[in-house]
Amino acid sequence: MTNQPLLEVRDLQTVFELDEGTVKAVDGVSFDVYSGKVLGIVGESGCGKSVTIKSVLRLIEEPGRIANGAIRFRSKILGNSSNDMIDLVQLPAKGAQLRALRGNEIALIPQEPMAAFSPVHTIGNQLIEVIQLHQPVSDEEAKKIAVTRLKEVGFPNPESAMDRYSWELSGGLRQRAMIGMALTCDPLLLIADEPTTAIDVTTQAQVLSLLRKLQQEHQTSIIFITHDLGVIAQLADDVVVMYLGKVMESGPVDQIFHNPQHPYTRALLRSIPTVHTKNRSRLPTISGSIPHPFQKRTGCPFVARCQEALPQQRCTNQTPVLKAINKHQSVSCFLHEEEVNAC
């Protein structure tokens, strides 16, 4: 069972058709999520991380759409047998099937909990709502479940917190409430979109360790999105490195950190501040800036900033594809195609 993925994303392409042109926000992304494992998706802001997971939840709105690809999910409630995988892309966008999955088998922890809670409804109201949506329980029972969840995520006073509004809570508690809400229905897959960007560093560490603890207790699969490789190191089992809507490299967390194969991954790793960095005030960053999304793309998306680009214009004229370089690791770079070819 553990060898079978819970979620298979294959060649996902999500585009936004704007007046100025078509933005390929996600351009051929593939990855697997295994049950009980944490997949980290890392990449600079704007590389398509959020669009990827919104596609998985089928929350892409006009003018965006999923242009291509498959998102196969091993659903318990929708599948006929435990081995069935359902392609979420094929389900009607506003249909009851997707609604039955969302918040139930696939739950979201959003980037900004402040904006994601309604300011005029209590925390309790919003928790009970999602419980009763997916479980046939009475108001009393739903309330009990909600209080238990709030307690589990570390609310000192879960009963009174039920009557509070999100803006009355501290940033850390607000995100804890969000985590509690996401976990209420014991989801198979939890998607956390940069859940700690809106809170300070100390609280961030607490929220991360809470997530890690809950993940181990419930054996939930998690897609954890961040632009911070340091966070990935603490939490993830596998890593997908994205750049401009494409996967640059993917593999187990150890490989990515200790044996990075893609020039972009290496650049990202160099930019992490560590205790060993001598001059703290001059952190190395990746030089160059991200090209404009409308810019016509030929060649490797990273070529403009790549320090290892190949001679003879190959990187500029041709686009590399993601290829497995060993049992676990895949890379999208000509440097490795040569290696593979050479063998």
Ligand X SMILES: Nc1ncnc2c1ncn2[C@@H]1O[C@H](COP(=O)(O)OP(=O)(O)O)[C@@H](O)[C@H]1O
Residue 172 interacts with, from ligand SF4, Mg ion, ligand X, none (CB under 5-8 Å by kind)? none
Instruction: At 337, list the tokens.
Output: 């195609």
- Is 99 among the residues that bind other proteins (CB under 8 A)? yes
CB of 234 to ligand SF4, least distance (A): 27
For ligand SF4, the nearest residue by Cβ is: 300
- Displacement of CA 168 from its chain's centroid (Å): 28
Element (H, E) at 231: helix 229-235
- Binding of residue 298 to ligand X (CB under 6 A): no
- How far apart CA 18 and CA 20 sit, in angstroms, is 5
The two tokens of residue 292 are: 């404009």
Least CB distance from residue 320 to ligand SF4, whole Å? 5
- Assess contact for 307 and 267: CB atoms under 8 A: yes
Contact call for residue 293 and ligand X (CB under 6 A): yes
Does position 104 bind other proteins by CB under 8 A? yes
Nearer residue to Mg ion within complex by CB, 14 or 104: 14
Which of 167, 47, 42, 153 is CA-nearest to residue 112? Answer: 167
The residue ranges that bind ligand SF4 (CB under 6 A) are 263, 300, 302-303, 306, 308-310, 315, 320, 333-335
Determine if 1 is a binding residue for other proteins (CB under 8 A): no
The answer to whether 40 contacts ligand X (rule: CB under 6 A) is no
CA angle 120, 123, 125 (to 5 degrees): 80
Q: Smallest Cα–Cα separation from 238: which of 253, 259, 228, 255?
A: 253
Mask: binding to other proteins, 151-170, rule CB under 8 A, as x and -? Answer: --------------x-xx--
Residue appearing with tokens 């589990």? 152
> How far out from the chain centre does Cα 187 lie?
15
CB 24 within 8 A of CB 61: no
Contact residues for 300 (Cβ-Cβ < 8 A; gap 6+): 306, 309, 315, 316, 318, 319, 320, 332, 333, 334
Binding of residue 66 to ligand X (CB under 6 A): no
Residues 251-310 that bind other proteins (CB under 8 A): none
Cβ within 8 Å of residue 158, ≥6 positions away: 147, 148, 150, 151
Q: Does 219 bind ligand X (CB under 6 A)?
A: no
* Binds 50: which of other proteins, ligand SF4, Mg ion, none (CB < 5-8 Å by kind): Mg ion
First-residue to last-residue Cα distance in the chain = 34
State yes or no: residue 231 binds ligand X (CB under 6 A): no
Interface residue with other proteins among 67, 78, 133, 310 (CB under 8 A) is 133
The item of Mg ion, ligand X, other proteins, none sharing an interface with residue 23, based on CB under 5 to 8 Å by kind, is ligand X
What is the contact surface with other proteins in residues (CB under 8 A)? 54, 57, 59, 94, 99-104, 107-108, 110, 112, 115-121, 129-130, 133-134, 165, 167-168, 181
Q: Contact positions toward ligand X, by CB under 6 A?
A: 16, 18, 23, 25, 43, 45-51, 64, 293
